[in-house]
Amino acid sequence: MPQALIRALQGEPQSPPPVWFMRQAGRYLPEYRAIRAKATFEQLLNDSDLAAEVTLQPIRRFPKLDGAIIFSDILVILDALGCGVTIPEGGPRLARTLDQIPLDQPLDERVFEPVQAALRTVKANLPPHVALLGFAGAPWTLLAYGLEGKGSKTWSRAKAFLHAEPAKAQAWLEKLADAAARLLNLHIGAGAQGVQLFDTWAGELDPEDYAAFGLPAVRRTLAQVSGAPRLFFARTGYLPQALEALPCEGLAVPWQVPIAEARARFPRMVLQGNLDPISLLAGKEIATAKARRIVEAMKGHPHIFNLGHGLTPETDPEVLGAVIDAVKGA
């Protein structure tokens, strides 16, 4: 029988729901910080044994977790296109932006070999009840980083590009969609049993621009992925109704949108989420009460408990453990 997480992604309501967390492998864990004290972020990405180890750390600490998401980064696609990505403490930096790279630049799939090896290692070492997840960045989010060359508060250069050069923007979005689909299929081929496409900066576009530029590229990506259930995460306070028609099985709901509202608006979709990560910083009592309300609101509907975005480095592992216990009814 498939694991609880996979059964949920196949549309089967679970009680209690399966649970995993975005960024569950990360700086909030002392065992992760011990490895990072000896290795850079890039070394973790490019050493398959280290990537596998940090993927497995939260599974060892929290044995009730139902999913393990491979340790990687959404910007590996830009690295494979020749952007020269580095990720120092201050955030990602690109040596070359996409406007300095020809549109016909081939994808160097050798960049993806470490994560494929890590997936195989993790798959061989996971407890039977834990499903393995892969992921990729969505085209608009990749284009935004690829044009800005680093993180941004406004993404003004990338947003302006959509209107200044719409044909070229669409061409890049299609190329990035194909690259993201290729990466997700490689993850599935290496053992991922489900995949998530992350559009972290979806909310930086207004609904009209996201409908014109972001969503068609997301649809193009997801339509090319096969062999495992697909989740899509658009980090935006407005969830476009058009998400209901995407070629995927599930939507990850950002914390800004009440999960009961998402349930009413997207009846076809498996829903994932959507505890505000910052509520974990408020302590066990508040975090567990909020978690229980989400579980209650989703009873009878296929649901995967998660956050509405990633775990923060300040999270206390004990509070996270208490939330897991609350979700699982302990």
The active-site residue out of 7, 27, 61, 96 is: 27
Catalytic site residue from 36, 61, 120, 292 = 36
Annotated catalytic, 120? Answer: no
Is 32 catalytic? The answer is no
Specify whether 145 is catalytic.
Answer: yes
Q: Which of 32, 145, 182, 220 is catalytic?
A: 145
- Would residue 28 show up in a list of annotated catalytic residues for this protein? no
Find the catalytic residue in 32, 66, 73, 220: 73
36 part of the active site:
yes
Residue in 23, 219, 220, 230 annotated catalytic: 23
Name residue, tokens 């989740």: 231
Catalytic residue IDs: 23, 27, 36, 73, 145
